[in-house]
Amino acid sequence: MKILVVDDEKDIVDLVAYNLEKEGFSVIRAYDGEKALDLAKTQGPDLVILDLMLPRIQGMEVCKRLRNSDRTTSLPIIMLSAKGEEIDKVLGLEIGADDYITKPFSVRELLARVKAVLRRADTRQKVRREGEFSCGDLHINYDSLEVSLGGKRVDLSPTEKKLLVFFSHNSGKVFSREQILDLVWGENSFVEPRTVDVHVRRLRAQIEPDQENPVYVLTVRGAGYKFTDQ
């Protein structure tokens, strides 16, 4: 698989590239945001490791443009930055990054994050290829990510859609809050497990006929949540 590494510090690019190549990845290198956008569109990488502070075009803007382009909208992105404040992490994830690692970083941790993000991206691709899903009055089109209930369109937030796709793809399987955070949000420790409860409530408000007696997203007492297997 091909990985685009973007950083204005050549030593960091060389270090990351060396270790990725040892793991069998092919590496493309860029040292500014403008070149990164060009290579992302012309070279077809499977993942981008993107520094936040870049010449010409900043990393945040690069991420936004990649997400807004049809060709690269689902391209996995790991942000790499010296900015370790929680607000920077949250902002990076909100504009479309799949994960966020602060400098200085462990090469072993970076490699583990790369593999985890690629696994999640592969799972999402498999889900999209399966086309559609129906359960009772609930219908999901995985290609367009449109959701309908009883024939009427349901407008969900991006996070609610990700949750619903995840649950529906794993019908009958019980997942803890921590597992859901890892598999839907990514392995970002600053996100609280109770965040899952909040988003499940919001999702239920949109798709459940009776929120107090849900029929789709079910609570498994003492364990977590599951999507009905009926």
108-159 tens-digit pLDDT: 999 999 999 998 877 666 555 567 888 889 999 887 888 999 889 999 888 8
Residues in Cβ contact with 212 at an 8 Å cutoff, skipping those fewer than 6 apart = none
Average pLDDT for 85-103: 79
Asked whether residue 216 carries a pLDDT value surpassing 80, the answer given is yes
Position 189 pLDDT exceeds 60? no
Report if pTM > 0.75: no
Cβ(10)–Cβ(51) under 8 Å? no
Q: Looking at residue 175, what DSSP letter applies? A: B
Helix crossing, 86-94 with 59-68: angle to 10°? 20
Highest mean pLDDT (candidates 67-71, 138-142, 168-172): 138-142
**The listed CATH number (1.10.10.10, 3.40.50.300, 1.20.120.430, 1.10.268.10) that belongs to domain 131-227:** 1.10.10.10
DSSP class of residue 38 equals: H
Q: What is the pLDDT at residue 169?
A: 84
Average pLDDT of 49-57? 93
Residues with Cβ within 8 Å of residue 24, at least 6 apart in sequence: none
Choose the weakest-confidence range: 22-36, 173-187, 194-208: 173-187
* Number of Cβ atoms within 10 Å of the Cβ of 102: 15
Structure confidence at residue 184 (pLDDT): 84
Long-range contacts of 18-23 (CB under 8 A, 24+ apart): 19/107, 19/110, 19/111, 20/111, 20/114, 23/111
Fold of 2-126: Rossmann fold (3.40.50)
Which residue, 139, 110, 120, is CA-closest to 16? 110
**Token pair of 51 as six digits:** 């520094």
Q: What is the pLDDT of residue 70?
A: 77
Let me know: does 135 contact 110? Beta carbons within 8 Å. Answer: no
User: For residue 9, what pLDDT band results from cuts at 50, 70 and 90?
Assistant: very high
Residue type, 99: D
User: Rounded CA gap, 134 and 87, in Å?
Assistant: 38
Question: Which residues have CB under 8 Å from 118's CB, separation 6+?
Answer: 1, 46, 47, 76
Instruction: Delimit the domains of the chain by residue range.
Output: 2-126, 131-227
Confidence of residue 76 (pLDDT cuts 50, 70, 90): very high
